[in-house]
A and B are shown apart, each in its own frame.
Chain A
Amino acid sequence: MSKLEINHLSISFGSQKILDDITFTAEEGEFISILGPSGSGKSTLFNLIGGILIPDEGSILLDGKEITGKRGSISYMPQSHALMPWRTILDNVLLGQEIAGKRDEKKALEMLGKAGLKGYEKHYPHELSGGMKQRVSFIRSLLSPQSLICLDEPFSALDEFTRFEMQNWLLSVWQQYKRTILFITHNIDEALYLSDRILVLSNKPASVQKEFIVPFKRPRTEEMLYSAEFLKWKQDIYREIKQYSL
């Protein structure tokens, strides 16, 4: 049984069909990137998995149980950091747990420390840099009790350097906590560097156009980014996207 099963998911907004017959599965502990052009419906897919939208057709199964239209089954990190400005960093990362009904401050403090945020627990979000806020938002989803994490372009607002740092940090955290991750991005390098599998979505309406299984060994290193093989993969994926979005 797969961790997550997406079966023939379709949805329209008005007369515009956005998602058309999306089908894929995710295994326990797998890191899957979803790659697609802007406006293709990637966030919409997460809204469906998260239960705040109801599909016109199709179903979503988590651990074999149907969760279509049901909320509270996934841990989500939105495209913006979406922190609450009136909560301290510590209270912000505990929000997901609070909603589920239990606060584990000790674990939160430990994870904040590991993320290089020691000493900022009692600060407010506006006192942090963009990268730090993104880390806080990610820790919030990591501390939530749900085992499937959906990340919506978590690093797209960051500069190249911070982005790379955050990717490495994300990989180290993921290797330690082994959660299943769905990761939306429109950066091919990022998808290749992070994931086990890449799903390329087509545009208007979106369906899974192609699936790439990333062959690179873990732990991944910076050298990998400059290898000829990496470049070849990047080209393949790029061609695949271009062919459909034009």
Chain B
Amino acid sequence: MKTLVEKGWRPTLVLVLLFIIWEFSVKILEIEQWLLPAPSQIFNELIHGTDVYLEHLWPTIQLCIIGLAIGCTVGIVTGIILHIVPFLRQAFYPILIISQNIPTIVLAPLLVIWFGFGMLPKIFVIILVCFFPITISLLDGFRQSDRDVMNYMKMAGATKQQIFWKLEWPNALPSLFSGIKISATYSVMGAVISEWLGASKGIGVYMQLSQSSFRTDRVFVAIILIVILSLLLLGLIMLLEKKMIRWRPKEGKSHE
């Protein structure tokens, strides 16, 4: 907690200064509200406009969490299967690597065409964008097992199963978690974009409605909500990571 204050005051100061400059520029230059609202107006809407956006919040949260959970499961299972079946790994790993450089989100319109406008295509989109980074980071983690420990276990007569559960799996956990963190961000993005393509409720819908009615302050509120949602999801994952990986040496202070 103390380090949070110690490390956090500088960026907080920068943000506060930025808001102050923004507020005064908008006032002095008399910028119209539909073009760029002042921070005070945005915060006002954030506090007093709950009636409008609260009903849009829950569907998006639901979408993110369900999509991410299924995406993680699919990603982990795929990673394990590709790891233990060398033939499949050799066949699919290059495809996975290449597909990582393509924004999978572009497939969203297709999924809407195939599965309609319900929840299903949206969850599909999120699973699709989530599972790639997880599978790849897991596979990388598996491959980075220490050679000496591996030799030790083999000489001690460890079975393939023992090697997997006692060495490869725990060794891959940190890498897996960095994959999950990337996926968490993707899941929020996937939810909002798939809502743009067609939905009756959701932050994406709220954002679109606000934009078409020139309520730029509400567009900013939507952005804030998305940021908060992403950070909360990330915090949740980091909490889980801390619970599961207690052994990692304290990060060195050299990079500060």
Pairwise interchain contact B154-A50, C-beta atoms closer than 8 A: yes
Is the beta-carbon distance between A85 and B247 smaller than 8 angstroms? yes
- Interface segment among A3-11, A75-83, A178-186: the answer is A75-83
| Bitwise interface map of A from 56 to 81 toward B, beta carbon under 8 Å scored 1, else 0 | 00000000000000011111101110
| Chain B CB within 8 A of A99 CB | yes
B177-214: CB near A (< 8 Å → 1, else 0) gives: 00000000000000000000000000000000000000
User: Do B148 and A71 touch (CB < 8 A)?
Assistant: no
Contact A80 B148 (CB under 8 A): yes
Identify which of residues 113-161 in chain B touch chain A, using a CB-to-CB cut-off of 8 Å.
Answer: 146, 148-149, 151-158
CB-nearest residue of chain A relative to B174? A86
Which of A74, A85, A87, A146: most chain B Cβ within 10 A? A85
Answer yes or no: A126 CB below 8 A from chain B CBs: yes
Count of A interface residues, CB-CB < 8 Å: 28
Whether the pair A98, B148 counts as a contact (CB closer than 8 A) is no
Contact with A along B159-175 (1 / 0, CB 8 A): 00010001100110100
A95 touches B247 (CB 8 A): no
- Kindly identify which residue among B156, B170, B173 contacts A76, using a CB–CB cutoff of 8 Å: B156
The residues of A that contact B152 with a CB separation of less than 8 Å are 76, 78, 82
Neighbour of B157 across the interface among A73, A84, A86, CB < 8 A? A73
From B148, B151, B162, B248, give the contact of A99 (CB < 8 A).
B162
Chain A interface main SS type: loop
* CB-defined contacts of A83 to chain B, threshold 8 Å: 149
A71-B157, A72-B157, A99-B162 are contacts. A84–B149 as well, Cβ < 8 Å? yes
Would you call B94 an interface residue if the criterion is a C-beta within 8 Å of the partner chain's C-beta atoms?
A: no
B residues within 8 A CB of A79?
148
The smallest beta-carbon distance between B245 and chain A, in angstroms, is 7
Q: How far is the CA of A229 from the CA of B151 in the complex (A)?
A: 40
Contact of B146 among A72, A75, A82, A96 (CB under 8 A): A82
Closest residue of chain A to B157, judged by CB? A72
CA distance A82 to B145 in the complex (A): 11
> Which of A51, A84, A126, A146 is the one whose CB lies under 8 Å from B249?
A126
User: Which residues does chain B contribute within 8 Å of A126, judged by CB atoms?
Assistant: 247, 249
Residues of B within 8 A of A168 (CB): none
A binding-site residues for B, Cβ under 8 Å = 47, 50-52, 71-76, 78-80, 82-87, 95-96, 98-100, 124, 126, 144, 146
Apart from A98-B162, A99-B162, what 14 extra A-B contacts exist at CB < 8 Å? A51-B155, A52-B154, A75-B156, A76-B152, A76-B155, A78-B148, A84-B167, A84-B170, A85-B248, A86-B173, A95-B166, A124-B247, A126-B249, A144-B156
